[in-house]
Amino acid sequence: MVDPAAPILIFDSGVGGLTVLEQVRKLLPDAPVIYVADRAALPYGDKSEAEIAARVCGLLGRLAERYHPRLICIACNTASTIALGMVREVLEVPIVGTVPAIKPAAEMTRTGTIGLLGTRATIRQAYVDNLEAQYAQGKRLLRHAAPELVQAAELKMRGIAPDPAVFARAAEGLLGQPGGADIDTVVLACTHFPLLEEELGKEFGPSVRFVDGAQGIARRIAYLTKGQSFARAQDDFAIDTSHDQDPSPLLPAFQSYGIGRILRL
């Protein structure tokens, strides 16, 4: 039997996984959660596949030994599209990953042209090619790497307004491609990006809808933990892997997601 106090561990390189936590809270309000931000290695999107895979496998192994989670959610598209298979091979714990929401986007589009915003590492993954081949046949998928948006989301969660030019560049990066004017659906294929939906919405205009994977991930977590009981032994907390950045400016944002403390790893 699963210990009712065993947490769900939600993992990202930074604040992006909070968009997944928000949806998990809606379905499983009593689930104890440990949120992990690997800010020591942020951004993942500019690293090599080998670096990301080694980092994610090593860190999740340490965290699993220390906190005995009932389930780990890799709330990061970059880490999931690169390392999900590997992590599943090395850890016994059920692992839920985050994959670009190409399938729902393909079902939603009317024009048949979908945009995808992700990190540099995510948009070059074969995992994304496979999702495109499987779910977006006969549609056009235009990809754009927007690493600046990761930093913008990190700033926003510290209460600092990001430079609006960043959002204009992200929109132009998709809409300015050949055929880009036909985009009516944009996949936010990085968990940081839904934190910026309002700002992005202004640049893309009212005819574009955004889609991300957070709700689907929460449903998957609820499905995999069905029948288990939940009882918090302590308040939910976050772990920050960074030792040279002060996490306290993030605390107000984390508190709004029910995380009252940010500890150092």
Q: Which residues bind ligand DGL (CB under 6 A)?
A: 12-14, 16, 42-45, 76-78, 119, 122, 150, 190-192
- Nearer Cβ to ligand DGL (192/230): 192
Largest alpha-carbon pair distance within the chain?
Answer: 55
Lay out the sheet containing 209-211: strands in order across. Answer: 140-145, 113-118, 185-188, 209-211
- Cα 41 vs. chain centroid, distance in angstroms? 15
Shortest approach of ligand DGL to residue 234 CB, angstroms?
A: 26
Given 190, 218, 250, 262, the catalytic residue: 190
CA distance to 16, 51, 60, 79, 106, per residue, from 127 (Å) = 20, 17, 21, 12, 16
Look at residue 154 and give its three-state secondary structure.
Answer: helix
E runs forming strands in 178-253 = 185-188, 209-211, 237-240
Provide the residue type at 238 as one letter. Answer: A
Shortest approach of ligand DGL to residue 33 CB, angstroms?
A: 17
Using CA atoms, how far apart are residues 140 and 78, in angstroms rounded to an integer? Answer: 22
- Nearer Cβ to ligand DGL (6/15): 15
Q: Is 76 an annotated catalytic residue?
A: yes
Given 53, 71, 73, 76, the catalytic residue: 76
Shortest approach of ligand DGL to residue 13 CB, angstroms?
A: 3
Shortest approach of ligand DGL to residue 122 CB, angstroms?
A: 5
Provide the residue type at 255 as one letter. Answer: Q
- Nearer Cβ to ligand DGL (42/262): 42
- Nearer Cβ to ligand DGL (6/145): 145
Dihedral sign from CA coordinates of 82, 225, 101, 137: positive
Dihedral sign from CA coordinates of 123, 37, 170, 199: positive
Q: Is 57 an annotated catalytic residue?
A: no
> Which residues are the active-site residues?
76, 190
